[in-house]
């Protein structure tokens, strides 16, 4: 379950197919030994990126892409032989069930989106961190971190809040309060505060050196 939640979050928020590929062990799709083989890992990431292009449909102004669940089984069958993995029954059954449920719901409400229900559940599970799962914590940190700087990104965290607010039809202020009431939210808040204090201290030291011409401290 944790692996599936993390895969949904990585795919829909960050579209990070490399991180999704890394979860194939958790999803019982490939042995970890196979994933540790660098050439195989690169090929898998490329195959997943191609599948994402075909499966994710981005509508103008939408908070999230739609997933073509009707094509999901076919894409999985296309990738599976190249990497010699077998799709477990739960995967095929869930994909077919989601496609059927979405079709039935849209016969009543043409605007229904099952992704809009799955994605908030994935994010709230990551934030709640009820099980203390290292995998859930790493995924939440990944979503909130700028991959180029390796630092927590205020922009990415604001984007998470904006998505949750839009999908849950709550105000951003309410979403902020709810997030800070979760274990994962409080942990991110403390990490952000420490990061800002560290950066502030670094700027202060640099200013003193520049304006008072102090030498850099020697390293013993």
Q: Of 34-38, 109-113, 215-219, which range is least confident?
A: 215-219
Q: What is the DSSP string of the chain?
A: -HHHHHHHHIIIII--HHHHHHTTTTTTSS-HHHHT-HHHHHHHHHHHHHHHHHHEEPPTT-SS-EE-HHHHHHHHHHHHHHHT-PPPHHHHHHHHHHHHHHHHHHHH-TT--SHHHHHHHHHHHHHH-TT--HHHHHHHHHHHB-TTT-SB-HHHHHHHHHHHHHHHT--HHHHHHHHHTSHHHHHHHHHHHHHHHHHHHHHHHHHHHHHH-PPPPPP-
Nearby residues of 72 by Cβ (< 8 Å), 6 or more positions away: 55, 95, 98, 99
Residue 170 has pLDDT above 80, yes or no: yes
Residue 108 has what pLDDT? 78
pLDDT (tens digit, 9 = 90+) per residue, 66-94? 787 777 778 877 887 787 776 667 676 77
Nearest alpha carbon to residue 57 among 46, 69, 67:
67
pLDDT (tens digit, 9 = 90+) per residue, 149-166? 888 898 999 988 988 888
pTM of the full structure: 0.75
Residue 2 has what pLDDT? 80
């Amino acid at each position: 379950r944790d692996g599936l939640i993390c895969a949904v979050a990585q795919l829909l928020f960050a579209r990070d197919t490399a991180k999704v590929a890394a979860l194939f062990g958790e999803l019982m799709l490939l042995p970890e030994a196979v994933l540790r083989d660098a050439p195989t890992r690169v090929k898998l990431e490329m195959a997943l990126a191609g599948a994402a292009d075909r499966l994710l449909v981005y509508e103008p102004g939408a908070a999230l892409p739609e997933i073509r669940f009707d094509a999901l089984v076919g894409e999985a069958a296309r990738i599976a032989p190249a990497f010699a993995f077998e799709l477990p029954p739960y995967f095929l059954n869930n994909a077919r069930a989601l496609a059927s449920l979405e079709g039935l719901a849209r016969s009543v409400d043409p605007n229904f989106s099952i992704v809009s229900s799955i994605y908030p559940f994935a994010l709230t599970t990551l934030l709640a961190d009820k099980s203390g799962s290292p995998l859930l914590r790493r995924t939440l940190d990944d979503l909130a971190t700028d991959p180029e700087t390796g630092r927590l990104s205020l922009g990415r965290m604001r984007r998470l809040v904006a998505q949750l607010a839009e999908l849950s039809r709550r105000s951003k202020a309410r979403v902020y309060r709810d997030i800070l009431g979760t274990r994962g939210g409080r942990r991110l808040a403390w990490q952000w505060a420490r990061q800002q204090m560290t950066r502030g201290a670094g700027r202060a030291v640099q200013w003193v050196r520049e304006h008072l011409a102090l030498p850099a401290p020697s390293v013993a």
